[in-house]
Amino acid sequence: MFVPRNQGVFQHPARACIPPIRPHHAGMNSIDLTKLAEEEGRGFQFPGEFEVSAMGAADADLAALMRAALQEAGLNCIAGVERVRASSRGSYVSVTLAFRAERREDYDTAHRVLRALPEVKWTL
């Protein structure tokens, strides 16, 4: 039933049959994604070999900087696995290196040390 605005809150008749919205987490149990991945064999498996990509200015020797930063963090780069790709204008390069991670913390460390480099704009 239509109620004029000056006499109360307007509610369209079609809205009367729509149940109230509940928060998306209402009634849901928390899920440990790490445990789920281990049980189902999905996700990252450690130890393993992983790739990390970083984008930076083309005039910086980004590949050498990345290798040095990873080695300084105690991570071993895999020889022969290096890809460098220039941006369409040639201002930036994307460098991909492979490294060995014994555990998840090693993987996180790789991204953290590369993001700390001033020449690196972002990592993947």
- Pairing between β-strand 48-57 and β-strand 92-101 as defined by DSSP bridges: antiparallel
Name the fold adopted by 44-123. Answer: Alpha-Beta Plaits (3.30.70)
Exposed / middle / buried, residue 50 (Cβ in 10 Å: 0-12, 13-18, 19+): middle
pLDDT of 54-113, one tens digit each? 999 999 999 999 999 999 999 999 999 999 999 999 999 999 999 999 999 999 999 999
Domain boundaries, the chain: 44-123
116 band by pLDDT with thresholds 50, 70 and 90 = very high
Q: Which pLDDT score is estimated for 100? A: 96
State yes or no: pLDDT of 26 exceeds 90: no
43 band by pLDDT with thresholds 50, 70 and 90 = confident
The predicted model scores a pTM of 0.66
